[in-house]
Amino acid sequence: MNYDLLVIGSGPGGYVAAIRASQLGLKVAVVERSELGGICLNWGCIPTKSLLKSANVFEYLKHAEEYGVTISGEANADFEAMVKRSRGVADGMSKGIQYLFKKNKIEVIQGTGKLKGNKQVEVTNDAGEKSIYTAEHILLATGARSRQLPNLPQDGEKVIGYRKALTLDKQPESMIVVGSGAIGSEFAYFYNAIGTKVTLVEYMPNIVPVEDEEVSKQLGRSFKKAGIKVMTGAEVTQVDTSGDKVKVVIKTKKGEENHEADIVLSAVGISPNLENLGLEEVGVQVENGRVKVDEFYQTTVPGVYAIGDIVPGQALAHVASAEGIICVEKIAGHSPEPLDYGNIPGCTYTSPEVASVGMTEKAAKEAGYELKVGKFPFSASGKASAAGHKDGFVKLIFDAKYGELLGAHLIGANVTEMIAELVTARKLETTGHEIIKAVHPHPTMSEAVMEAAAAAYDEVIHI
């Protein structure tokens, strides 16, 4: 059973790499111990967006009268039905990967893979039976799992990770979410929107701390307005699960506070799946908890590659996919361009949504740039007003000397659909004046991009 490429893991890095390799003429197999599509399709990106859409619909119904729509009776959130829909969406996407693998003649090997050296991989199936497969190239794409903190151990019942948060048996009356990155903020928004009392705890001074400070503060205001209790500069120091509710001690600048909730959701990051892969046995080097790779994802062992959450770089599905394509194109003898990690978009699907690419204003100043900063509020957007979504803004950061777009930071309705324009603009080295002169359709939310660029150059019309 010899292959040109054997991929361990079928998440958005592994399955995309496998399909692209097959397109390039390689004989490919994928080893997967669970569902095809990995965490993203089954327990991450896709099912969470399904839940968030249910929350959006519920919120529309609650505010229907504002749009001139009268509904007889009261709208209720059916938590079990929302979860059921979410699982159905995820299952459909996983079946789509099965179809794509069949279409591209990719073999699926069910089981857990381990490197054995000499271009071999040992696969152990659910029955404990072991088989050896040989491949000229082996690609590790094993992803990551919810990170566990010593002072916040997950028991899967009262203290849970994101996976359990997708499939709770019943809606909790109260929840404490620890960590306000994309995962924590999205779950905080979802559960609050359907009626759970939510407290969001963040160790850093602002929520979504990787974002531009103005965006972080705006989301904090929006969350508080929606009824979420937001605690920044705070740390969970103790958790007691012995009673009916979880008792939590939260340390703040003012001292320790006692809180309790039905559920505590730990959303404090991820841990790469590196255990039992045989890395040490075959000589694959790991640095700072990630596999060491070159710009084309070759590890320290010839013929062994790694992508996605187990290598340095942003732990995002679209990053893993891009890395996988670059890796296999290099294997196939092409000349791909290395990935520009400074031009990776990040999206958080709360309400309002958050999307960004490039440098924050603070980072750009610290890098020594002289800046032109333009900001356009959605309160001045005709489309946003018509849609009833006036919260948020577009903020663009330009190098004053050359007009280079250094960073873009958006918060508002549907901004995750708008960020790609700015990623492309940065890729093409578009200047601020070129964005201003690119005619944007009216009325749209995307006009705010052009207006923000105009604001940076004192040419803005509508504010």
DSSP characters over 219-241: HHHHHHHHT-EEEES-EEEEEE-
User: What does the pLDDT look like over 250-262, one tens digit per residue?
Assistant: 999 999 999 999 9
Can you tell me the mean pLDDT for 337-351? Answer: 97
**Active-site entry in 318, 433, 440, 442:** 442
User: What does the pLDDT look like over 188-232, one tens digit per residue?
Assistant: 999 999 999 999 999 999 999 999 999 999 999 999 999 999 999
The answer to whether 419 is a known ligand-binding residue is: no
* pLDDT at residue 148 is higher than 80: yes
Please report the beta strands in 77-196, taking only residues with DSSP state E, as ranges in sequence order.
Answer: 107-110, 112-117, 120-124, 130-140, 144-146, 159-160, 174-178
The answer to whether 49 is a known ligand-binding residue is: yes
The answer to whether 180 is a known ligand-binding residue is: yes
Q: Is 442 a catalytic residue?
A: yes
The answer to whether 306 is a known ligand-binding residue is: no
Residues 6 or more apart whose Cβ sits within 8 Å of residue 360: 211, 212, 213, 397, 407, 409
The answer to whether 202 is a known ligand-binding residue is: yes
Residue 49's pLDDT is what? Answer: 94
* pLDDT at residue 1 is higher than 80: no
User: What does the pLDDT look like over 297-307, one tens digit per residue?
Assistant: 999 999 999 99
Residues 6 or more apart whose Cβ sits within 8 Å of residue 202: 179, 180, 184, 209, 230, 231, 232, 233, 234
In this prediction, residue 74 has a pLDDT band, given cuts at 50, 70 and 90, of: confident
The answer to whether 340 is a known ligand-binding residue is: no
What percentage of the chain carries pLDDT values higher than 90? 93
Can you tell me the mean pLDDT for 326-355? Answer: 97
Can you tell me the mean pLDDT for 13-33? Answer: 97
Higher-confidence residue of 156 and 374: namely 374
Residue 9's pLDDT is what? Answer: 96
User: What does the pLDDT look like over 406-450, one tens digit per residue?
Assistant: 999 999 999 999 999 999 999 999 999 999 999 999 999 999 999
Whether cis (ω within 30° of 0) applies to the bond prior to 441 is no
Residue 37: count other Cβ atoms within 10 Å of its Cβ.
Answer: 26
pTM for the predicted model, two decimal places: 0.94
Residue 146's pLDDT is what? Answer: 87
The answer to whether 326 is a known ligand-binding residue is: no
Average pLDDT for the chain: 95
The percent helix, strand, coil of the chain (3-state, each to 5) is 35, 30, 40
- List domains and CATH numbers for the chain: 2-145+271-341 (3.50.50.60), 159-268 (3.50.50.60), 352-456 (3.30.390.30)
